[in-house]
A and B are shown apart, each in its own frame.
Chain A
Amino acid sequence: MSTITTFRPRTGRTTELVLVLFAIAIVLLAYVNVALAIQGEVPPNLMLHGGLLLAFTVGFHLVLRWKARYADPLLLPITTLLNGLGLVMILRLDYAAGRDVGSLVASRQLMWSALGITLAAVVLFVVRDHRVLRRYTYIAMVAGFVLLLLPMLPLIGHEENGSRLWIRLGGFSFQPGEVAKIALTVFFAGYLVATRDALSLVGRRFLGLQLPRGRDLGPLLAAWGLSVLILVAQRDLGSSLLFFGLFVAMLYVATERVSWIIIGLLLFSAGAVLAWRLFGHVQTRVNLWLDPFDPSASSDQVAKGLMGMGHGGLFGTGLGEGYPHLTYFANSDYIFASFAEELGLVGVFAMLLLYALLVERGLRTAIGAREGFGKLLATGLAFSIGLQVFVVVGGLTRVIPLTGLTTPFLSAGGSSLIANWIIVALLLRISDHARRPVGERVELEGQGASAVVGEAR
């Protein structure tokens, strides 16, 4: 005999609040630590900065309580902690570079963080149900391509360190590729949900592999072409690797066909070999990867990063006590090495586990999602964070050649921060939908509703 009892499932919001406060406490401790180590005094703006951080993250938490009360309770604390630690390290490097208050990178980053959190809240207000995004599949595609190609335009396009990834408007520079990542993920998800049957069922078998039809290969070839285009035109190895990897992963999840992965890897290898043969800067990266300490190497960038990490050792030098500023791009591409130096192996393990947790919570959301579009979108968004961390940290630690991407939430730079906060907002929205009990499910009018009924498995 069993009795049916109705109970309100836990929303996890209180857990979230406690964890967010805990994260802020850690960040402020690190902040005080840095100021004490470098300036010898408690930071004078501790209350102001701490208050700002508290106001924005707790404010966002309240938005979640109001607009997405069943959302995953771990995502916000993790991102708060990563974003906050990034701020501390950027400030620490500001001190090391002797920047004065007016030109602090950290204060700009604080502003970007506030903007990122605000935009994430706006996303939660505007996107009441993630399924509406499916309506904009092809608009997202166009937007993604346009954003990607913006830096190629004259006048506003802008080249830095040999890569043409920025646009400059007024006094601000922006990396549209970061936002394009979201638009393209939306496009991939929408497109694959619509065509997955054709992609997975039709085709001939060859050597135990289900080969797709020629015309179904189109989108894969298009994604491949796009990533090669980015590589050639913008000299951005990281982004092309990221887009192509993201697309192949989503294709595989949509079709459940290993053949797509194999074809994808073959295409990737072909592209990689071709790029290596054709472009000097790719060869440079590969040579630096194989022997970063080669005295005749064109750059000691990798070597310096490795020395910084080695210097940190097991427990690190302590925040403010190392020399992370001896590494190039210490607060952007190499910020992870800066953490490795000052927090040690123990510290970066913790940070890598935070990322891993973030990605796995995202994939958990994908599994919990009740329809294909949400599953694919959550998978794509979560995987893009994981892949990006892998490409960056793997590049620093010589798992793969160094390509140069931002480290999500940590690196100095507004576009990356805003894009990642929006990604988290979308994951929160999908997880809210996935975890919401049936009784409370409020269906949107129109096509969203039918999609839910049809695809829940």
Chain B
Amino acid sequence: MNAPIRRLAVVVAAMFAALLISTTYIQFFQADTLREMAGNRRTLLDQYGRDRGAILVDGTPIAESEPTDDDLRWIRTYSQGQLYAHVTGYYSFTYGAGLGLERSENALLSGSADSLFYRRLPDLVTGREPTGATLEITIDPRVQRAAAQALGDRRGAVVALDPRTGAILAMVSHPTYDPNTLSSHNLSAVQQSYETLNEDASRPLVNRAIAGDLYPPGSVFKLVVAAAALESNEFNPDSELPSPLRYTLPGTSTSIPNFGGSSCSGGETTSLFDSVRVSCNTSFAWLAGELGADQLNAQAEAFGFGQPLQVPLPVTPSRYPVDADDAQVGLTGIGQYDVRVTPLQVAMIAASIANDGVLMQPHLVDTVRDKDLDPIDTTSAQELSTPISVTTAQELTDMMVAVVDAGSGGAAALPGIQVAGKTGTAEFGTTGAAHAWFTGFAPADNPTIAVAVLVESATADWTGETGGVVAAPIARAVLEAGVNP
């Protein structure tokens, strides 16, 4: 009977060989496919189950992971969810790391970034769970709160920068949402709020400050035109520009009026200085034509138009139209036609004027720290470009101070502090509805904060809400919080 037993032993060996092959196939060759399979809870749990780093504002966590007893092991909580929603984004088991820093800095927060590799080595040896890095961000909580409160229930966005470093001091977009509803472990509730947020016509998930629809800048774009004029050396603040009651766009029979149909200076011409101060439309339309599309485009690009930017949240590039004919170039002079900007871009224009013509790279992350709070990486202030000279910057500052002191931006004035600013009222569509803008900085002689405020038109037609009426008071509140530490 030994021969058949030996043969049976061979059969058994073959059976086990089959098992070795099948386990090898599954655990080695098929493993990656299996991991990436839709609905593989293990992969999700693995990513979610990590002690994710916190996001700190002035030492206080606005996003942090707290241990739980359930399968997910950690729950992400946002202590001031509504206020910081567009900064943090959300971290959801079902929908992953979405929007904001949660998404842009996912690698650091989750601890999988290459820059953390050497710090992870001891974890590998000790078998400790890898932990994510903590982000200290540049937001000033008082400025952020002031901006959110001043904006109130209106749709719009506020961005504040430190012009000297490019640090983002406030980033508010309204309507907002509560990221806690997406990071909850009640998965069906999460799904429901995600769907509700996505279907909401007011689009609360969109960060209007940097990545919403691009807006027509209206008169705040006059800063770019004025800068181009001064940089061309053909104009100075005292240059007299034609400022008729109506300006006929070249090559057309269409004419544009001044705001309210009034004359800019009472005469046929207005100085460049006063054109900015009273936000004269006809003189700027003429000026744009004089400078030409190329020069305006070059100036706009020097301020950052057309450049994709990561702060590290991706910023939609603003744009100056390249294909404009003469009439359209005239319109761009007053920030109409196809000029489109983000509020951050407008703040960057104000910030470079405030910073003696040097544009600093806007950034949101100040210091990256490991779990033991040792700094891994600190963002140092970086120059992005020098769009204008010191002289031009000073001349523009003087004009903007006049806007607040004796022009269209009086509502932004602060007692005892000189504020520089520019209003904007950007019409869109054909019904005359307009977005209200204000951008500026303070104190004018030694700026520590630059701001851009956008308030979306609440109605489809004109209700008289100019930048000076609606946006300037909001800017005032933000600047006040920023200059009074």
Residues of A within 8 A of B (CB): 37, 98, 249, 252-254, 256, 293, 306-314, 318, 321-323, 326, 340, 344-345, 348-349, 352-353, 355-356, 359-360, 363, 366-367, 372, 375-376, 379, 383, 386-387, 389-390, 393-394, 397-399, 457
Given B8, B28, B69, which contacts A313 in the complex, CB threshold below 8 Å?
B28
Interface flag for B113 (CB, 8 Å): no
The 25 listed contacts between A and B (C-beta, < 8 Å) are A252-B8, A307-B34, A307-B40, A310-B27, A310-B31, A310-B34, A311-B31, A311-B43, A323-B41, A323-B42, A326-B41, A340-B23, A360-B9, A363-B5, A363-B8, A367-B2, A367-B6, A375-B1, A375-B2, A375-B5, A376-B1, A379-B8, A390-B16, A393-B22, A399-B22
| B3 is an interface residue with CB less than 8 A from chain A | yes
Closest chain A residue to B45 by CB distance?
A323
Minimum C-beta distance from A97 to chain B (A): 11
- CB atoms of A256 and B19 under 8 A apart: no
The reply to whether A397 and B42 contact each other, CB–CB distance below 8 Å, is no
Q: Are A253 and B5 in contact (CB under 8 A)?
A: yes
- A37 neighbours in B (Cβ, 8 Å): 127
Main secondary structure, interface of B, reads helix
Q: Which residue of A lies closest to B9 (CB)?
A: A363
| Contact status of A311 and B19, CB under 8 A, knowing A293-B37, A318-B127, A379-B8 | no
- In the complex, the answer to whether B41 meets A356 with C-beta atoms within 8 Å is no
Q: Are A397 and B22 in contact (CB under 8 A)?
A: yes
Q: Which residues from A are CB-within-8-Å of B3?
A: 256
Residue of B nearest to A325 (CB): B71
Instruction: Say yes or no: B28 contacts A253, CB within 8 Å.
Output: no
Asked whether, in the complex, the Cβ of A379 is within 8 Å of the Cβ of B5, the reply is: yes
Q: Are B35 and A363 in contact (CB under 8 A)?
A: no
**CB contact under 8 A between A344 and B27, given known A306-B34, A311-B42, A386-B15:** yes
**Bound: A253/B3 CA distance, A:** 8
Cβ-based interface call for B298 (8 A): no
- Measured CB to CB, the closest approach of chain B to A325, in angstroms, equals 8
Shortest CB-to-CB span from B112 to chain A, Å, is 16
Residue of chain B at shortest CB distance from A360? B9
- B6 contacts which chain A residues (CB < 8 A)? 367
Report Cα–Cα, A13/B12, bound state, in Å: 27
Whether the Cβ atoms of B23 and A322 lie closer than 8 Å is no
Q: Are B1 and A253 closer than 8 Å at their CB atoms?
A: yes
> Which residues of chain A are near B458, meaning CB under 8 Å?
none
Which residues from A are CB-within-8-Å of B69? 98
Residue of chain A at shortest CB distance from B6? A367
- Beta-carbon nearest neighbor of B36 in chain A: A310
Known A313-B28, A356-B12: A308·B42 in contact at CB below 8 Å = yes
Choose among A340, A344, A356, A372 the residue that contacts B16 (Cβ–Cβ < 8 A): A356
Q: How many A-B residue pairs have CB under 8 A?
A: 134
Q: Is the CB of B16 within 8 A of A386?
A: yes
- Check B22–A398 contact: CB distance below 8 A: yes
Q: B125 at interface (Cβ–Cβ under 8 A)?
A: no
B13 interface contact, C-beta 8 A: yes
Q: Are A394 and B18 in contact (CB under 8 A)?
A: yes
Q: In the assembled complex, which residues on chain A have CB atoms less than 8 Å from the CB atom of B27?
A: 309-310, 312-314, 340, 344-345, 348
Is the beta-carbon distance between B41 and A390 smaller than 8 angstroms? no
Residues of A within 8 A of B8 (CB): 249, 252-253, 363, 379, 383
CA distance A394 to B43 in the complex (A): 25
Contact of A322 with B42 at beta-carbon distance under 8 Å, contacts A356-B13, A386-B16, A390-B16 already known: yes
Which residues of A lie under 8 Å from residue B266 when comparing CB positions?
none
Contact with A along B150-191 (1 / 0, CB 8 A): 000000000000000000000000000000000000000000
Cα(A253)–Cα(B4), bound, Å: 5
Cα separation A314 to B37 with both chains bound (whole Å):
18
- A375 vs B2: C-alpha distance when bound (angstroms): 8
B residues in contact with A254, CB < 8 Å:
1
| A387 CA to B46 CA, complexed, in Å | 35
**Distance between Cα atoms of A310 and B127 in the complex (Å):** 21
- Against A, the Cβ 8 Å flags (1 = close, 0 = not) of B19-31 are 1101111111011
A352 touches B5 (CB 8 A): no
Could you tell me if B5 and A389 are in contact, using CB atoms closer than 8 angstroms?
no
CB distance from B70 to the nearest CB of A (A): 10
From B23, B26, B33, B41, give the contact of A352 (CB < 8 A): B23
Chain A residues with CB under 8 Å of B24's CB are 345
A310 is contacted by which of B11, B13, B26, B45 (Cβ under 8 Å)? B26
Among B19, B23, B127, contact of A389 (Cβ-Cβ < 8 Å)? B19
Which residues of chain A come closer than 8 Å to B9, judged between CB atoms? 360, 363
Say whether A397 contacts B41, CB under 8 Å: no
Question: Whole-angstrom distance from the CB of B376 to the nearest CB of chain A?
Answer: 26
With A363-B12, A379-B8, A386-B15 in contact, do A348 and B23 touch (Cβ < 8 Å)?
yes
What are the interface flags for B56-91 relative to A under an 8 Å C-beta threshold, 1 for contact and 0 otherwise?
000000000000010100000000000000000000
Residue on A nearest B71 in the bound complex, by CB: A323
Write out the residue numbers on chain B whose beta carbons fall within 8 Å of the beta carbon of A355: 16
Q: Which residue of B lies closest to A255 (CB)?
A: B4
In the complex, which of the residues B3, B19, B28 has the most CB atoms of chain A within 10 Å of its own CB atom?
B19
CB distance from A252 to the nearest CB of B (A): 6
Best-surrounded residue of B22, B26, B127 (most CB of chain A within 10 A): B26
Task: Kindly state the separation between the CA atoms of A398 and B30 in the bound complex, as whole angstroms.
Answer: 13
* Extra pairs beyond A249-B11, A356-B12 (16, CB < 8 Å): A253-B8, A307-B37, A310-B30, A311-B40, A311-B42, A311-B43, A313-B31, A314-B28, A323-B42, A326-B41, A352-B20, A367-B2, A383-B12, A393-B22, A394-B19, A457-B1
A310 pairs with B16, CB closer than 8 A: no
Residues of B contacting A308 in the complex (Cβ-Cβ under 8 angstroms):
42
CB distance from B26 to the nearest CB of A (A): 5
**A16 to B22, alpha carbons, bound, how many Å?**
32
Residue of A252, A323, A359, A398 near B12 (CB, 8 A) is A359
- The complex places the Cα of A304 from the Cα of B474 at a distance, in Å, of 55
Establish whether residues B23 and A360, one from each chain, have CB atoms under 8 Å apart when the complex forms: no
**A-chain residues with CB within 8 Å of residue B15 when the two chains form the complex:** 386-387, 390, 394
A457 to chain B, nearest CB (A): 8
Contact of B23 among A359, A376, A386, A397 (CB under 8 A): A397
Q: Which residues of A lie under 8 Å from residue B4 when comparing CB positions?
A: 252-253, 256
Determine how close the nearest CB of chain A comes to the CB of B7; give it in whole angstroms: 8
Residues in B with CB closer than 8 Å to A252 are 4, 8
In angstroms, Cα B23 to Cα A405, docked, is: 18
Chain B residues within an 8 Å CB radius of A372: 1
Tell me, rounded to whole Å, the shortest Cβ–Cβ distance linking A126 to chain B.
26
User: In chain B, what residue has the closest Cβ to A348?
Assistant: B23
Query: What's the nearest-Cβ distance from chain A to residue B72, in Å?
Result: 11
Q: Given the complex of chains A and B, what is the CA–CA distance between A166 and B285 in angstroms?
A: 92
Complex Cα distance, B17 from A360, in Å, reads 13
B12 and A306 within 8 A (CB): no
Are the CB atoms of B12 and A309 closer together than 8 Å?
Answer: no
A49 to chain B, nearest CB (A): 22
Residue of B nearest to A378 (CB): B5
A352–B13 alpha-carbon span in the complex (Å): 11
Q: Looking across the interface, which residue of chain B has its beta carbon closest to that of A355?
A: B16
One of B18, B26, B46 near A306 (C-beta < 8 A): B26
Chain A hits for B32, CB < 8 A: 310
Looking across the interface, which residue of chain B has its beta carbon closest to that of A254? B1
Q: Is the CB of B42 within 8 A of A307?
A: yes
Cβ 8 A contact of A311, one of B2, B20, B25, B34: B34
Chain B contacts of A323 at CB under 8 A?
Answer: 41-42, 45, 71
Chain B residue nearest to A253 in the complex (CB): B4
Q: Which residues of A contact B45 (CB under 8 A)?
A: 323
With both beta carbons as reference points, the residue of chain B lying nearest to A366 in the complex is identified as B5
The CA-CA distance from A306 to B33 in the complex, in Å, is 11
A196's nearest neighbour on chain B, judged by CB, is B1
- Which residues of chain B have C-beta atoms less than 8 A from A256's C-beta? 1, 3-4
Which chain A residues border B35 with CB–CB below 8 Å? 307, 310-311
Known contacts A256-B4, A310-B27, A326-B42, A352 near B12 by CB under 8 Å: no
In Å, the complex CA distance between A383 and B7 comes to 12
